[in-house]
């Protein structure tokens, strides 16, 4: 006996059964069972012949049209869900929407499964470091006469913070300072033109925390070009090598204020090929034509982040 006949046999209606049409699928006398295969069939309410009033709405959520055929009143998403359930019961293929939803659910569950268990001691340590970071950076801002200008927390944050600073210094036009791809393109261009200066400091195409970062040897030409492409055209985060490239490309020192130690990492000075250490007072003494950005490891729930330091407003 075919699947449709087997399902139809389960239902012996005492009143005409409505027809539901979804796209090109017509289902007559169909009972959709629950997951435990135990729910009873729902009988639609037939229109009363002796009354001129509209027939009542069935408990299934369907309304009866003037021609006596029930039409669903559920939302489009409810209809999609019913259609997917029907296809599954009849042994048909799942819709693309259903397959996508299931993939997303599996990915979400995998993330939950991979999360470390809650550890009160570890959480307390993170909060301690967060408070220390807030204090150190706030104190440095006081010495420098600066305040934090919040940058959008995304993969462009370092490039956006540097671009904002270059705009304040008049090195970039306002429209360029508002576009992180201005600094992305400049960093990638400089790195391509000075490949030998950067290859020893690039652990892998995907970054220092990714597979291959501890392998012996350096990137080949194809891997280096892929790295530069990601700097130039994607939303991947930037770090020390890109900061150094931007300092050289725009011929301006870049000071990164952080929890430390050290409190300030300088890029672009004569003695700091890839990061020189100093404190906030030394940074202030270096003058005003300096890009100053902050680096946060704990202050933001999304992880590492960069902000721009603008001159503090008079109070």
Active centre residues (catalytic)? 154, 157, 305
Give the C-alpha separation, 174 to 89, whole Å: 60
Q: 212 and 190 in contact (C-beta within 8 Å)?
A: no
Q: Which residues pair with 305 in a beta bridge?
A: 296
The rounded distance, in Å, linking the Cα atoms of 254 and 171 is 13
d(CA 96, CA 84): 10
Computed over its alpha carbons, how large is the radius of gyration of the chain?
A: 32
Preceding amide of 261 cis, omega within 30? yes
> How crowded is residue 254: how many other Cβ atoms within 10 Å of its Cβ?
23
DSSP state, 132?
H
Helix, strand or coil, per DSSP, at residue 195: helix
By the 10 Å C-beta count (0-12 exposed, 13-18 middle, 19+ buried), 2 is classed as exposed
Closest CA to 127 of 249, 299, 265: 299
CB neighbour list of residue 197: distance below 8 Å, 6 or more residues apart: none
What is the distance of C-alpha 15 from the center of its chain? 53
Give the DSSP letter of residue 14: S
How far from each other are the two terminal CA atoms of the chain, in whole angstroms?
85
Q: What is the dihedral of CA 300, 301, 304, 307, to 10 degrees?
A: -30
3-state secondary structure of 174: helix
């Amino acid at each position: 006996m075919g699947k449709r006949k087997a399902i139809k046999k389960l239902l012996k209606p005492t009143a005409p059964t409505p027809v539901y049409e979804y796209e090109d699928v017509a289902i007559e006398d169909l009972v959709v069972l629950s997951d435990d295969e135990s729910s009873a069939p729902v009988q639609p309410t037939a229109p009363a012949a002796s009354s001129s009033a509209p027939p009542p709405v069935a408990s299934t959520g369907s309304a009866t049209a003037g021609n006596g055929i029930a039409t669903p009143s559920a939302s489009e998403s409810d209809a999609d869900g019913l259609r997917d359930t029907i296809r599954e019961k009849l042994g048909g293929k799942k819709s693309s929407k259903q397959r996508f939803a299931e993939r997303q659910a599996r990915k979400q569950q995998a993330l939950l499964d991979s999360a470390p268990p809650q550890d009160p001691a570890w959480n307390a340590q993170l909060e301690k470091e967060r408070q220390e970071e807030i204090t150190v950076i706030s104190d440095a801002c006081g010495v420098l006469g600066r305040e934090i200008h919040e940058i959008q927390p995304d993969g462009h944050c370092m490039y956006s913070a540097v671009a904002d600073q270059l705009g304040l210094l008049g090195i970039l036009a306002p429209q360029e300072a508002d576009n992180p791809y201005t600094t992305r393109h400049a960093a990638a261009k400089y790195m391509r033109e000075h490949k030998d200066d950067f290859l020893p400091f690039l652990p892998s195409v995907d970054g220092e925390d990714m597979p291959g970062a501890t392998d012996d040897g350096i990137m080949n030409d194809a891997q280096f070009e892929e790295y530069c492409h990601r700097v130039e055209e994607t939303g991947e985060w930037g770090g020390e090598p890109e900061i150094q490239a931007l300092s050289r490309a725009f011929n301006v020192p870049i000071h990164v204020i952080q929890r430390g130690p050290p409190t300030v990492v300088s890029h672009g000075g004569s003695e700091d090929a890839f990061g020189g250490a100093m404190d906030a007072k030394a940074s202030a003494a270096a003058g005003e034509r300096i890009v100053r950005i902050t680096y946060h490891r704990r202050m933001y729930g999304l992880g590492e982040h960069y902000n721009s330091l603008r001159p503090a407003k008079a109070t």
